[in-house]
Structure 1
């Protein structure tokens, strides 16, 4: 066995590289670490975090950089560091184990394992000495090590109980199916959890919960329930005017520490912003709220300006993962302002800006100001808003001279899939071809640089190096991205690519015994359990996303095999909503797609004005279950499609609207098409 040392300098993950100079003898996750633990008779200390995580940085500075604490770690444990963004499978298993121990999950995750990878105790952040009701980390280290050596029976009891429980969590709960009435019942229950004043679910801390917010919006579309509509509009308005939004550079932080959306943890994640771009676009289609359009445009601007990995290089085009919360060792320092700074930069305009953005001499957070418009959310006149935009530009330029937060530029296939789909759809809705082009570049990057010849995706790419075979989430999110690009470009090769990625999911991830997809592939051998569920986490559920992919493949191709697989997937998790529907939003939203899709076929030359006018009518409609099939001259719809055999009319572009596998007569007038698409948009609620 090689001499112990910190081995993270050989990694590519920015998070792991942040820890390469710790005096801790960190090892990456892998067989070598567990072999060392067995050889030395030591337990494993597993530490999981990510590059943009503020409390991960705090624990690193307080404990992992401390020579005395590091010496204890090296003496008592084999220490393994994991980037949760690179290994979401590892993170999910041990977060679940922590939950089974009755503790709240989060990052940094600190778990103690046997040399076989079996968890027996853990927590999250531990301070270097006892404070805030938490034990000091040295005391934890000594106590866990002593228990491991002196009370092996207790460790065995814990590991056995946790392993059994983890295997039970991976067992799906099948059911006969899920109908739309159940979706309405779920929405009626969930809307009661929304803060009626500030929006969002519950109290502090508050996360965007985009899947749930979309579920409520869909419920309003189906039933006309005004409380569902109000919950969505309030939530998005308060978030978009709060401090969780970067009013100078665009983009949303990961969550708010308070119930008013004022104080965020300042890290910006690609996945949050992808989901919010998509949701804001959906809600804007019905509300036409200029605030929502502005936030989409500004957030896309931030993505294309700051989140393209290796821009300008031949391999550029993929989207980077995160921006850190910290700079110069302080959380939020890059983003906050003092009254003196604003006054110096804006002069006689400072008072006007301060009134709009809550800037005071005392500040609203730790003596500084987080820019927000919560106290003055209503827009001013066009002239007033134009003047504020000029002032924001001055501050934005000045902010550019500050030390920037850390940038995690690794490209993750699943997160890129989310952003590709969001940009493609938003680009079509807001008539921004550059957004669609950016989505296509990222799609081509992943397809070219991150998949094997057999169509299997890798999860992570950085600096020319691939790491970690893909999970279900990678296959599902990129298949969804391919279909989104097809719907806005008509490029049939995207459908073929989606087929291949879906076929890989079936071959490598499907459970042939109980149904449903595992998170990890059949040949993944370094985990104690194969997770399987339909629950959303920070990103949408892989099983929920796959349900949408299967439904769209069936609707676009007319091939019944995709429908049968979708039905089997619904059945595999059909018993879950009756037990705990809260984390199932993506799955439930795609159940609606499967049952209530609105299929629109637009046949015509994509460069022709009449085709463009029909497509604009489609993209302007608020249809969460829209499945669009562009048909170019010389191509035909597949035989199984309900509009098979239909095309242009008298040389003019024509549209067909299909519901429940029955299609309308051809429509050539954009206004008539818009009216037809509105017919089933809102079903009035039943009389009391």
Structure 2
């Protein structure tokens, strides 16, 4: 079977694939039919993986994929397959691991050459059309690969077999379970602490990523062990990040990473998952410090989210592009004259609080950022700056907007829903909780035969869900239950876990695969153990199982979570990187916290104390006074009395005596 000799991406659900539908390249999406075509033609596959907000993906597309001469070589020598890594993270992880195993630096666009049966034998990332940057030209690369394929095919097949076996062992293998050790988190936090940039925050060097799993390790270390240095690592990192150009000081929201060590010039794409993590981290930081910086940046980021990222039905789009009008960062950067034109006499006040910089190597307009002193002054003068920012935002809206990748990814939405629900509780913003509930209802309602889609773009849905989708939506359901007290969310969480068990559990009951059992187009069925910019699917699953077991008091479910965590820890011990999420999740499994509060529905006194003390280790269950049904079980099968206010804080199967005084509860929750 061969597919038509033409580009076949026009009807795909991914905006990224649709961006390439006009290329002269005969692109196919990843599918059983595309793989069968390669086998039928006995041609190697040229696999290109990217995403809509990726700057260098756009560069390579413009230089090579839109060029007739390059496309002619691609069409003659290869079956060309284009993948949106956000739609198919399972495929992306396999071939990124293959590139890493070759000793190459990973990144996007990912360019891999595969045998007709999908086994990788060589690859790289961005290749320029003409030789430069110390890289060969793309046509040279393709012709060299073709020559090797024709003249050394047996050797390439042997290499591909070996590389595939190595990747399978690394991403899908099993190892003996490991005893969950309380010291593992402390050891990891100590190693991360040794990598922190004391002057600029984040990890030393450049580029700088927010690295949410690392920050959570440090925060958990402080919460559990009282290590104030680890708390300060996170606070300093957040403060520098929020002062830098990586944060959008006019419109709110965080870019994916900074190209330099000072957080100054980002790649300007904005990803949904980064901003979910930012909201959560700032929520914890505000609760711990009372520093209004963190509250204000949450408010600005949520305002951006609701203004620019909501799609039909109330779910959230995946990303905003780095480029507009063909130039990176053009939408977000300003000359001094542009600021003065927009603000006139008020520009003097603006420049008292913000700086424009064009560092060496940056070719665009200046980037807005702050010194630490300006950041502090910004918070002091916040109310006076709000109308200035609003005028600049209005002026910015007249510019060519960056492209919106409007697909709604289930797992990324689950993370944002949980973040919104948590921040909505902490900052008394029921409108945020309502927005989270609306997104949750839209995604849950898109299920088919009980199965979630992984991705949606309008009426187009991509099935089947990944394990990360069920995990993230379970955690989102529990966060909404904590915020609303509605037990229907707990029931929904249970149904998500049932689907996870049915489609993703391994035969031995030791863990889960990222892809469903009926997925027919994956060369390797991987576990999903490795962190990327966000915590791994496995870590999200462990967290979901632990949290659901805590809410329901289901000891069998907690025992299963413990078993899954032990096996994940055993696999993590054999990996060289990317296991931070599993360590964090195992720490939650070792010491899960459960807070049961009985309080008045009107004028509660204990619930606000819990809300302003968020803790990622804790599940909160609020019971109105007089409740008879749906009373949560305390450890030992004890039902809490509901005739008067009280709060029970439990660790595992042990509860402290009931607390009735709000100040005493505050001291209890703040005690490390």
TM-score interval (norm. to shorter): over 0.9
CA contact (8 A) 1:636 1:645 kept: no
Is residue 527 from structure 1 mapped to residue 522 from structure 2 by the alignment?
yes
Structure 1: distance between partners of 2:590 and 2:552: 16
State how far apart, in whole Å, the 1-side matches of 2:48 and 2:40 are: 21
Contact map agreement 2:422 2:614 (CA 8 A) in 1: no
Match of 2:284 among 282, 285, 307: 282
SS where residue 469 of structure 1 aligns?
coil
Measure how far apart 1:153 and its partner are: 1.3
Residues 508 and 522 in structure 1, CA contact (< 8 A), matched pair in contact too = yes
Q: CA deviation at 1:18?
A: 0.5
Question: How far does residue 359 in structure 1 lie from its aligned partner after superposition?
Answer: 2.4
Distance 1:474 1:349 in 2: 47
Structure 2 residue aligned with 1:452:
448
The 8 Å contact of residues 172 and 514 in structure 1, kept in 2 or not, is answered as: no
The 1:360/1:417 distance shift into structure 2, 3 A limit, reads: closer
Deviates more, 1:543-552 or 1:32-41: 32-41
Residues 244 and 264, structure 2, Cα contact 8 Å, conserved in 1: yes
Matched residue count: 668
Over 3 Å counting, the alpha-carbon distance change for 1:362 and 1:352 in structure 2 is farther
Q: Which residue of 2 aligns with 1:686?
A: none
1:560 alignment partner in structure 2: 555
**Does the CA-based 8 Å contact 2:245-2:263 persist in structure 1?**
yes
Equivalent residue number for residue 326 of structure 1: 323
Cα pair distance change 1:331/1:99, threshold 3 Å: same
Correspondence 1:214-613 to 2 at 5 A: 214-310=216-312, 316-359=313-356, 365-366=362-363, 368-374=365-371, 376-380=373-377, 384-449=381-446, 451-453=447-449, 455-513=450-508, 515-576=510-571, 578-580=573-575, 582-606=577-601, 608-610=602-604, 613=605
CA contact (8 A) 2:207 2:261 kept: yes
Deviations 1:283-321 (A, max 9, x none): 2111111111111111111111111112xxxxx111111
Range with bigger deviation, 613-622 or 206-215:
613-622
Deviation at 1:135, TM superposition (A): 1.0
14-23 vs 3-12, which moves further: 3-12
Counterpart in the other structure of 1:685: none
| Cα deviations by residue, 1:549-600 (Å, 9 ceiling, x for unpaired) | 1111221111112112111112212234544575223222222222222211
Query: Corresponding residue for 2:628?
Result: 634
Q: In 2, Cα distance between the equivalents of 1:442 and 1:9?
A: 27
SS in 1 for 2:341: helix
**Aligned-pair CA distance for 1:533:** 4.3
2:647 corresponds to? 655
Residue equivalent to 1:624: 616
Give the whole-Å Cα distance in 1 for the aligned partners of 2:553 and 2:574: 34
User: If the length of structure 1 is used for normalisation, what is the TM-score?
Assistant: 0.94
Given candidates 658, 661, 668, the residue that maps to 1:666 is: 658
1:631 positional shift: 2.2
Query: Aligned partners of 1:361 and 1:106: how far apart in 2?
Result: 26
CA deviations 1:170-201 (Å, max 9, x no partner) are 21333332222221111111100111111112
Residues 1:40 and 1:515: Cα distance change in structure 2 (over 3 Å): same
Asked if the contact 2:180/2:590 (under 8 Å) is kept, the reply is no
Q: Does 1:78 align with 2:79?
A: yes
Give distance in 1, aligned partners of 2:379 and 2:532: 40
- Gap change, CA 1:237 and 1:377, over 3 Å in 2: farther
SS in 2 for 1:386: helix
Query: Following the alignment from structure 1 to structure 2, what is the Cα–Cα distance between the partners of residues 86 and 622?
Result: 32
Q: Counterparts of 1:663 and 1:3 in 2: how far apart (Å)?
A: 66
Q: What is the rounded CA distance, in whole Å, between the counterparts of 2:518 and 2:258 in structure 1?
A: 39
Distance 2:93 2:628 in 1: 48
Q: Secondary structure at 1:629's aligned position in 2?
A: strand
Of 640, 644, 663, 1:646 maps to: 640
When structure 1 is superposed on structure 2, of 496-505 and 529-538 the one drifting more is 529-538
**More moved, 328-337 vs 99-108:** 99-108
Task: Give the Cα–Cα distance (whole angstroms) in 2 for the partners of residues 136 and 176 of structure 1.
Answer: 48
Distance in 2 of aligned mates of 1:458 and 1:118: 27
CA distance in 2, matches of 1:195, 1:61: 37
The CA distance in 1 between the partners of 2:201 and 2:649, in whole Å, is 35
Answer whether contact 2:330 2:364 (CA < 8 A) is retained: no
C-alpha separation in 1, matches of 2:442 and 2:193: 40
SS at match of 2:10: helix
3-state SS of the aligned residue for 1:79? strand
Q: Check the 8 A contact 1:87/1:468 in 2, yes or no.
A: no
* Whole-angstrom CA distance in 2 between matches of 1:220 and 1:325: 35
Gaps of 5+ in 2: none
Query: What CA deviation, in whole Å up to 9, does each residue of 1:92-138 have, x standing for no partner?
Result: 11111111111111111111111111111111100001111111100
CA contact (8 A) 2:353 2:378 kept: no
1:88 aligns to 2:89 (yes or no):
yes
User: How far has the Cα of 1:603 moved from its partner?
Assistant: 2.1
8 Å CA contact 2:112–2:120 kept in 1: the answer is yes
- Partner Cα distance (1:659, 1:299) in 2: 33
User: C-alpha separation between the residues in 1 aligned to 2:574 and 2:284?
Assistant: 29
Shift of 1:483: 0.9
Tell me how far apart the structure 2 counterparts of residues 513 and 559 of structure 1 sit (CA, whole Å).
Answer: 21
Alpha-carbon spacing, 1:23–1:559, altered in 2? closer, same or farther (3 Å): same
User: CA offset at residue 356 of structure 1?
Assistant: 2.5
586-595 or 123-132: bigger deviation? 586-595
Aligned pair in 2 of structure 1 residues 381, 27: CA closer, same or farther (>3 Å)? Answer: closer
| CA RMSD, 1 decimal | 1.9
Structure 1, unaligned runs of 5 or more: 311-315, 683-688
Go from structure 1 to structure 2 and tell me whether the alpha carbon gap of 1:366 and 1:376 turns closer, same or farther (over 3 Å shift).
Answer: farther
Matched, 1:615 2:607: yes
> Any conservation in 2 of the 1:174–1:574 contact (CA below 8 Å)?
no
Q: 1:370 to 1:363 in 2, by over 3 A?
A: farther
Which stretch has the larger CA shift, 36-45 or 158-167?
Answer: 36-45
